[in-house]
Amino acid sequence: IPISQSDEATLTNVLALVGILKHFKISDADIVDKINALKAVEMRLESIEGIRNNLIINDSYNLDLDSLKIAFQFVREYNKSTKSLILTDILDSKEPADELYPEVAELVNEQKFEKIFLIGEEISKYYSLFTSETYTFDNTAQFINSKVITEIENQVILLKGARKFEIEKIKEILELRKHDTVLEINLNAILHNINFHKSLLKPQTKMMAMVKANAYGLGSYEISEFLQLHHIDYLGVAFADEGVELRKKGITTPIVVMNPEQHSYDSVIEYNLEPEIYSLRVLDLFNEQLIKSGNQENYPIHIKLETGMHRLGFKPVEINELTEKLKSMNVKVQSIFSHLSSSDVPEEKEFTLNQINAFEKISTDLIDELGYQPMRHILNSAGISNYSDYQYDMVRIGIGMIGESSNKTIKKQLQDSVSFKTVVSQISEVSQGESVGY
């Protein structure tokens, strides 16, 4: 069963739910269908861009030891080196306070927060148990009025509070943008869609996520960080500057540059990006830059084959010359790939299979000449859905992770990850014949 959230609490809840449904003899198909439709509860582990380059993790209205552990697990996986915690009294615990709060302090101390802000008269009594720089407040209003939060910058700030304390007021102060109109990206839906496509593949098949063009407008860094958090094998960008930006922000996942321009080769090498090589000229020019840079290692490159689109890629007649050059250069072919132009068009199945057959033959010839086995990949999102028998070693997912598919059966299994929300400013009644301005 593809599950969009992989934290321990979600897995436990889903397993319990499956057990109950099986007890009532609900069919496996219905169980999968219903679980696919589950939505994440809003205001739980919500990531929000904050002022002063902070990242706000809002996990409001649910506070106990288990939810605290899950929130800490989530925060640990973000790249920012410093973190702060805003934590309120725990109101619904059956444990006595003198047992509960030492437990909480021990758990919090393991996370090594830079600053801790305790809100509530009860938890504040135990401030001395917290080893980080700790501030105490009787209530949320006192905390807001103190202005201490304005001193924090370049951090992850976790908001964890009981409903009574209304810490959404703190969130409103900390968030960067406050507009009625928002483009909302549901990361849980993206993860669900990735996991669904993975369910169509063999367990060992790797996946490259395409984050070119600012991740289709969703935010390349935010999406890439989330994908890295969930162990995506590769990221793909169109141009080197996109990859450089991701590296500068802490993304360490391997990144393929699909259109490496000649003037960007030095940046490709400096930031450990992996270029697509699609012609002998490009190979020669990139090798020249490798020599200039003094790079002595087998630099990873990705060879694109021309299989019928007649755009970029090596043709069969070029393979012998290509292999001779590769053997004499300080490069290693990390993967061999091509692109299916019509994998989403049922009427073009014959053309698509011809592309796949051409790829099989040319890539096999190249591998035989190289003497080692690079990865191979040809399937895009539609290819995963419609031609999964040809998944090779890796696949590439793009619009499929957003929730788009021309295959109606597949589309029903995907979740929409993008919502455009706004408010109606005013409703006016206009008499017939009156003019309406723009």
Could you list the active site residues?
212, 438
The structure tokens listed for 299 are: 């630099």
Distance CA 275, CA 395 (A): 17
Residue 248 has φ and ψ, to the nearest 5°, of -65, -25
Runs of H (alpha helix) within 371-416: 381-386, 399-402, 408-413
Distance CA 61, CA 71 (A): 12
Distance CA 412, CA 196 (A): 11
The structure tokens listed for 16 are: 């319990």
Distance of CA 390 to the CA centre of its chain: 25
Count of CB atoms situated within 10 Å of the CB of 5? 18
Nearest to 284 by CA among 265, 310, 267, 257: 265
Cβ-contact 165, 119 below 8 angstroms: yes
Residue 348 has φ and ψ, to the nearest 5°, of -105, 25
DSSP string for residues in 321-367: HHHHHHHHSSEEEEEEE---SSTT-GGGHHHHHHHHHHHHHHHHHHH
Cβ-contact 199, 120 below 8 angstroms: no
Q: Which residue do the tokens 């002595």 mark?
A: 296
DSSP string for residues in 221-283: HHHHHHHHHTT-SEEEESSHHHHHHHHHTT--S-EEESS--GGGHHHHHHTT-EEEE-SHHHH
